[in-house]
């Protein structure tokens, strides 16, 4: 899929080595659509960027995509490390963007839900965290894959 046509904020592409380093850091292969997105634009944003949250009868916005640069505050690795170090997100997940309210968009890297897009709500966090998506009642599935998710973005 050509993601660049849908983006209003494009960045230089991530290198093969940067994508591989991200996979090694998280200890799981990334879904092909996400690797394709990173290879086209390492960070950036979409317009439209609105996301439906049907379980809340609400909407949010997909903010700027995280980058593969490991020391960037908008970096996938830094965000993964911060949230995982406190057991706040599943071990086999990849945070790829925030919303403006501090919630996250995650890709599942677990076998049973591999590649699905989830919304992580920081206000509904379980007190003890966990390892697997099943341990996080504050995550809700948004789309079966990244392409479907991006193509479903609407007005903010």
Note the pLDDT of residue 72: 66
pLDDT tens digits, one per residue of 23-37: 999 999 999 999 999
Q: Which fold has domain 4-151?
A: SMI1/KNR4-like (3.40.1580)
Q: Where are the domains of the chain?
A: 4-151
Mean pLDDT of 7-13: 96
Residue 70 predicted with pLDDT over 90? no
d(CA 47, CA 130): 34
> Under 8 Å CB-to-CB from 40, ≥6 apart: which residues?
2, 3, 4, 10, 13
Helix (H) or strand (E) holding 59: strand 58-61
Note the pLDDT of residue 74: 86
Q: pLDDT over 70 for what percent of the chain? A: 99
């Amino acid at each position: 899929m050509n993601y660049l046509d849908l983006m209003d904020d494009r960045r230089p592409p991530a290198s093969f080595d940067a994508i591989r380093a991200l996979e090694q850091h998280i200890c799981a292969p990334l879904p092909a659509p996400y690797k394709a997105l990173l290879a086209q634009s390492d960070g950036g944003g979409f317009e439209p960027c609105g996301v439906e949250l049907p379980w809340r009868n609400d909407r949010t916005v997909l903010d700027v995509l995280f980058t593969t640069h490991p020391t960037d505050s908008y970096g996938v690795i830094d965000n993964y490390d911060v949230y995982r170090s406190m057991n706040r997100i599943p071990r086999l997940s990849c945070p790829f963007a925030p919303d403006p309210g501090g919630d996250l968009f995650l890709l599942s890297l677990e076998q049973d839900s591999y590649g699905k897009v989830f919304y992580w709500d920081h206000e509904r966090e379980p007190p003890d965290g966990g390892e697997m998506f099943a341990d996080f009642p504050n995550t809700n599935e948004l789309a079966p894959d990244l392409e479907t998710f991006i193509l479903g973005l609407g007005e903010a």
